[in-house]
Amino acid sequence: MSETPLIQLKRVTKTYGEGATALQALKGVDLTIQAGDFVAIMGPSGSGKSTAMNTLGCLDTPTTGEYLFNGVHVETLSRDQRAQLRRHFLGFVFQGFNLLARTSAQENVELPLLYRGESAAMRHAAAAKALASVGLAGWEHHTPAELSGGQQQRVAIARAIVTQPAVLLADEPTGNLDTQRSREIMELLRGLNAAHGITVLMVTHEPDMAAYAKRIVHFVDGLVESDHLNPHPAGLDIPTAKAV
């Protein structure tokens, strides 16, 4: 394990608005995440977990405090520098899949590489590999309408990992799926974490899904209330999930 943590939040605060209407979403958060960790972030609505996730994903900046990514002070970076960090080190998975409806699974997965200016040959090969890694080899030319919800989320995960990110940030990744599909997606995330060493940070309100994580962090009122290791993560006896 690296001596330098992959991610550190030090006394991070986030305030929206000013004066009497100001809302302090984060009130001095300290959080350390090592490379290869799998962390579930939980908490009630308004607890600060989504604000913390947006900060970790470089989608928002702290009002005060420090955010270090592999030793680099992210809070001092420019907007363009944060965009570069997102593009090269972070992958995102959302509850709503966010796939382009009229394009194939292959084309959806290629998008991040297109934005990076990669060649067509490189994009095609990397997208095919990413789809195969989530159990969708042979589904490259299907559009989202031709895929189940679980398959669509697999395409979204393939799109998130096609750039080989250090960190995968998943915001309620099973929120739109039934129980069986949710478990299959969690088994997939667990497998990517175990087999490829991708650090997974996941916001969820479902204890059954958080049970797959190695570590569970609870936010309450803008602070970390608890942070504990999960001694028996779910799914460790299950190989990479089959295609949904």
User: Residue 27 is which amino acid?
Assistant: K
The pTM assigned to this predicted structure is: 0.89
Q: Which pLDDT score, from 0 to 100, does residue 220 have?
A: 97
pLDDT for residue 95: 85
CA separation for the pair 159, 155 (Å, rounded)? 6
Share of the chain above pLDDT 90, in %: 84
Q: Given this model, what pLDDT does residue 147 score?
A: 95
pLDDT at 41: 97
Domains and CATH numbers, the chain: 7-229 (3.40.50.300)
Tally: H helices and E strands in the chain = 7, 10
Name every residue whose Cβ is closer than 8 Å to that of residue 176 and which is 6 or more positions away in sequence: 95, 96, 97, 149, 153
Task: Identify the pLDDT of residue 244.
Answer: 39
What pLDDT is recorded for position 26?
A: 97
> What pLDDT was estimated at residue 237?
54
* Exposure letters 188-209 (e unless 16+ CB within 10 A, then b): bbbbbbbeeebbbbbbbeeeeb
Q: How high is the pLDDT of residue 30?
A: 97
Confidence label for 96 from pLDDT (cuts 50, 70 and 90): confident
Q: Mean pLDDT across the chain, nearest whole number? A: 92
Decide if pLDDT at 83 tops 70: yes
Predicted confidence (pLDDT) per residue in 190-230, tens digit: 999 999 899 999 999 999 999 999 999 999 999 999 999 99
In tens, the pLDDT along 128-183 reads 999 999 999 999 999 999 999 999 999 999 999 999 999 999 999 998 899 999 99
